[in-house]
Each structure stands twice: as C-alpha cells, then as structure tokens.
Amino acid sequence: MSSDDASHENSVTAAGDDDQNKINTSRRYFLIGATAAVGSVGAVGVAVPFLSYWSPSAKARAMGAPVKIDFSKLSPGEMLSPIQAWRGKPIFIVYRDEAAVASLADQSLDLADPNSDNPEQQPEFAKNPTRSMRPEIGIYVGICTHLGCSPKYVEADNFADSRFGGFFCPCHGSKFDLAGRVGTGYPAPDNLPVPPYRFESDTVVVIGEEGGTA
C-alpha cells in the first residue's frame, strides 16, 4: 500500500470514528434527558397526592364553611323560605311572635326533653325554653332525630292541647314544638339539633360560628 493510500484510509477511519463518537454522544444526551424527564414525571406523581392530602378540596371546605343567612324579610309566625343549608343539612329559621314565645315556657305540653338536658342537641347558650339566643328567632337543623327525614313547618295546632305550631315529620309522625322539642311517645328520640351560630346583625345570622351578641 502506498503512503497516499494509507493516509487516505486513516482519514476515512478518523472521520468514521468522529461520526460514531457524535452518534454515541447524542444517544447519551438523549438517554440522560429521557431519564430526567421520567424522573420529573415520577416526582410530580408523588407530589400531587401529597399536596392533595394537605390541601382540602373545595367541596370539603364548603361542607364545613360557615354560612351567612339574611332573614330580613321574615315576619312573625313564618319560617324562612327557601330553606338554606349548612354542611349539607337544612337550616330552619322561624320568627316567633310574643304569644308563641310565651307558650314555650308553658310546662303543660308533654315533651320528652323539655329542659334540653341532652347537651349534644344544642350549644350552651340555647339551653333555655326557647332554645335560642334571641327568644323570637329559633334556629334548628331541619332533620328529624328518628331516621333523618326533614320535618314540615306547621303554623298552628301542631299538638292537640296547643294552638301553636311547630314541626311535623311526615315519615313517622314525630312532632316538635316551636323550640324544636319533641313530644313524648313519638319515634324521634331527641329534640331537633341547634347548630352553633352568631348574629352578625339584627337580620343576618352566621351558621357554623358561635359567639356574637343577641
């Protein structure tokens, strides 16, 4: 082989080696990039559930969030309509006139828990004959304590020995007075619950927060 031929062959070999090196380098960079990308996806996959665990969903926040209710259009003898909800439960707001408020102190009705002795059914401020912060405004969770039906508001003659209204459960016949106290002998074992609440103003109540002034 002549020196020119040898020189040409070496040049071709060197060029081939350079091309191979470039291919290997490109392949190595590709593999490194691909590995990093997969690692990033894996990190995101781990981080998302972790962040979700620490960040409550919008639905969860809504279920526990306080609710403001304006009852300025409510007149004596009425219950607020449409019924507002808190934590997925209906909230009854009734405006009792003076005669109705006075009747709640009457011990002649046969009630299962007239003195609200079950502490789980109302905050401490509602342990009184009207079961409320303001005597004329009654606020109750509108779910019967028997099987979870929603009672109906009755304007008058809810009990045979009273001309005043209250709440009647159409599912199994339980009756409650205007303070949400259940009558004796009905399926419901307890009074209607009183939610925690506070008055933001004379006509706005915040359900889910206790405190404030009457």
Catalytic residue among 22, 61, 152, 172: 172
Active site residue 8: no
Tokens linked to 78: 């009425």
* CA 32 to each of CA 18, 26, 94, 206: distance values in angstroms, whole numbers, following the listed order: 21, 10, 70, 58
- In angstroms, how far apart are the furthest CA atoms of the chain? 130
> By three-state DSSP, how is residue 82 classified?
coil
Question: Among positive and negative, which fits the CA dihedral 14, 15, 17, 18?
Answer: positive
Contact 208, 197 (CB under 8 A): yes
- In what order do the strands lie in the sheet containing 164-168? 152-156, 164-168, 175-177
Q: Which residues are catalytic?
A: 172
